[in-house]
Amino acid sequence: MPLVAPSLLASNFLELEKECKMINESEADWFHLDVMDGHFVPNISFGIPVIEHIRKVATKTCDVHLMIEEPGRYAEAFRKAGADQLIVHYEACPNLHSNIQQIKSLGMKAGVAINPHTPVNFLTEILDDIHHVCVMSVNPGFGGQEFIPQTLHKIRELRHMIQERGTHVLIEVDGGVTLENSSMIIRSGADVLVAGSTVFKSPDPVATIHRLKFSD
């Protein structure tokens, strides 16, 4: 059974408290919070003050995805804002191992995201040090994009790497996750489904989360 992490980027910001309470009361497992800086990705989302307010309401794990340059400068601030897990991008971290150590030293679980063009074998040297890999199945920066089919091969390859190493790293898939492709994604080896538009644009978000949770 997969973990489900609704992405608040697709929520109604005018009713953010209501949206958070809906996630609390649903079968979702994590809050997925996308932070964009307009440099690493061509968009700006929200930052520390918004996460602080979400944390006041959220009763579940806050999975904060930093799509920003120099994430190490802000790791402690995001921990103070309420992040339980902090994802940094492979492509934004010239000293990735140092970033991972920093995140863990602050008491958070460390995740590493890879863009669609980044091979999974680039993660070989850090698999033993992280909690989860966030496989981007769209180009980061905007919600509502279509799932890139090649991602399924990357998930299978990553699952094989994890099994060979005997680690317990989770595979999170972020981008274009729908009720139609969620089963394929899970069968390919994913553990966590990040879903934004699929959840928040649906007539019944709680029912949609339930259907994602029981993808087979």
37 counts as catalytic: no
3-state secondary structure of 149: coil
* Residue 204 a catalytic site member: no
pLDDT at 21 > cutoff 90:
yes
pLDDT at 67: 97
With CA atoms as reference, report the closest residue to 6 among 61, 57, 83. Answer: 61
Q: Which residue(s) pair with 196 in the sheet?
A: none
Considering the domain 3-213, what is its CATH architecture?
Alpha-Beta Barrel (3.20)
Distance, CA of 57 to CA of 170 (rounded, Å):
26
Q: What are the C-alpha distances in Å from 53 to residues 29, 35, 46?
A: 19, 14, 11
Per-residue CA distances from 56 to 16, 35, 157, 178, 179 (Å): 12, 18, 38, 29, 30
Token representation of residue 130:
């992280």
Give residue 138's pLDDT. Answer: 95
pLDDT at residue 216, as a whole number: 72
pLDDT for 167-199, tens place per residue?
999 999 999 999 999 999 999 999 999 999 999
- Residue 141's pLDDT band (boundaries 50, 70, 90)? confident
pLDDT of 125 > 80? The answer is yes
- pLDDT, tens digit (0-9, with 9 covering 90-100), for 55-94: 999 999 999 999 999 999 999 999 999 999 999 999 999 9
Catalytic one among 29, 37, 63, 174? Answer: 174
What are residue 97's phi and psi, to 5 degrees? Answer: -60, -40
Which is the catalytic residue, given 29, 34, 37, 191? 34
| Under 8 Å between Cβ of 65 and 87 | yes
Mean pLDDT of 132-142: 91
